[in-house]
A and B are shown apart, each in its own frame.
Chain A
Amino acid sequence: MDKTLRRGPERQLGVKNDTKSVFFININVNSLCVCVCVCVCVCVCVCGLQYDLSASTFSPDGRVFQVEYAMKAVENSSTAIGIRCKDGIVFGVEKLVLSKLYEEGSNKRIFNIDRHVGMAVAGLLADARSLAEVAREEASNFRSNYGHDIPLKHLSDRVAMYVHAYTLYSAVRPFGCSFILGSYNKDDGAQLYMVDPSGISYGYWGCAIGKAKQAAKTEIEKLQMREMTCRELVKEVAKIIYIVHDEVKDKAFELELSWVGEVTNGRHELVPKDIKEEAEKYAKDSLEEEDDSDEDNM
């Protein structure tokens, strides 16, 4: 009778390799709550086990799972790209429209951080908004203390430090968003930095975040951005967003374009309506051309 009781819980849980839970069962066969506890532990994700419950725990192979899960949250969101050219920065965001009732132009994913700095985000939008506020305060305090515009590297370091602080404690969760910061001024030229949920910031000539980031990166690598101007780049950015947009899975989308550079006199602004329409037309035409050429090949 004892033997049957002992084996029962083991079979229910389907435990094979987890020696720890087997041990528990052997010791406290009659204790129901222990079985339930073990059940909960083992049923959680196979890769994390109990190392993924808080950001303050490392796994035995040196990973912090909570941060990696936060990065997965970013990968679930739609794509945002930022490209630096010789006289400025262009941001493009694929904003998925989940309902026809949404007001056009609402729920922006590109923010103004300071006159000369813009930020495009991907991931949990609420997290991104609070980080935009943090970045705005940093830029504003710098200007108040030192009397000049904050250099972008410094701003991105400061916000990255803030994001990183949330990956240290179990009482808070990491931010579930990545963002791209871009700025232009006459002396330092154009700069582009990307910050991810782990709190690292890198400088880039072109980068992409979100679900189609791999495809977008491939397209960006084809561009000769160091020789392009902002006006040429706007069209290419629109084209890339149209290319990586998945017509099957996500239907309607709105393209958000913004730029900062010599063409805007160093101010970060949304691309004017006429230029945006021209860029979208170029993007749609290029897509059709590619479709046509595919058909010809077939």
Chain B
Amino acid sequence: MEKHYTDSKVKGVSTGTTILAAVFDGGVVIGSDSRASIGGDYISSKTMNKVIQVHDRIFCGIAGSLADAQAVTKAAKSHLSFHSVQMESPPLVVAAASVLKDLCYKNKEELQAGFMTAGWDRKKGPQIYVVALGGMLLNQQVTIGGSGSTYIFGYVDAKYKPNMTREECVQFATNALALAMGRDNVSGGVAHLVVITEKEVEHVVVPGDKLPRFHDE
């Protein structure tokens, strides 16, 4: 059935993708590759940013159909900005993730997009929520997604430690993305990383030639 297509077989422009997010001590890193392709044959963008900001300290990594993901994040962003004005405080990460989950679940027949919501809020600090294709919501410390993620499950399981420092975590994320991009044909380009802490949000871009190289490259 159509619903069980993997990312690379989705019709139209899809983000055959690698996205990942990891919590460190005091913040969270969310990263992605930058390749957008049509059917795995033609690369329609080499520098697409798949980490979208939905609020000051909340970002979303997208996977699946690009059109669906953009539509959903746009709707979520406007909903959240209204919500945060009403509440007179920044939205909680769980609230942002719930909004996305509702959109995914209620329109699950039409949509084909999954998200990784990562952010920082005053109540629980850094958090990551995975909103899967059908609208499942799950809280995790580290998570990977997209077609390229299959190649790095082992690496992530072995190398992720809770309470890493910021530098360790950024290095971990860069390595993981580089490994995935090295094996998945629909992931590639540059590595986009966003580091979210209480004080600030930092966007790091690692161009293709600066990515870490491994033994047979």
Contact = CB atoms under 8 A, between A and B. Distances in A.
- A contacts with B: majority SS: helix
Given A145-B102, A146-B99, A147-B98, A187 B83 contact: no
Interface residues of B, number: 15
Contact of A147 (B86, B87, B95, B122): B95
Nearest to A142: B95
B122 A151 contact: no
B83 A146 contact: yes
Given A154-B86, A154-B87, A145 B122 contact: no
B137 interface: yes
Contacts of B86: 154, 157
Given A146-B83, A147-B137, A148-B92, A187 B99 contact: no
Contacts of B95: 146-148
Nearest to B87: A154
Nearest to A157: B86
Interface in A125-178: 145-148, 151, 153-154, 157
Determine the interface band of chain A, counting residues with CB < 8 A from chain B.
Answer: under 10
Nearest to B101: A147
A158 B87 CA distance: 11
Contacts of B123: 187
B97 interface: yes
Interface string B127-165: 000000000010000000000000000000000000000
A187 B137 contact: no
Nearest to B89: A151
Interface string B45-84: 0000000000000000000000000000000000000010
A151 B94 contact: no
A157 B102 CA distance: 24
18 contacts: A145-B98, A146-B91, A146-B94, A146-B98, A146-B99, A147-B94, A147-B95, A147-B97, A147-B98, A147-B137, A148-B92, A148-B95, A151-B87, A153-B88, A154-B86, A154-B87, A157-B86, A187-B122
Interface of A: 145-148, 151, 153-154, 157, 187
Closest 8 CB pairs of A and B: A147-B98, A146-B95, A147-B94, A146-B98, A187-B123, A148-B94, A154-B87, A148-B92
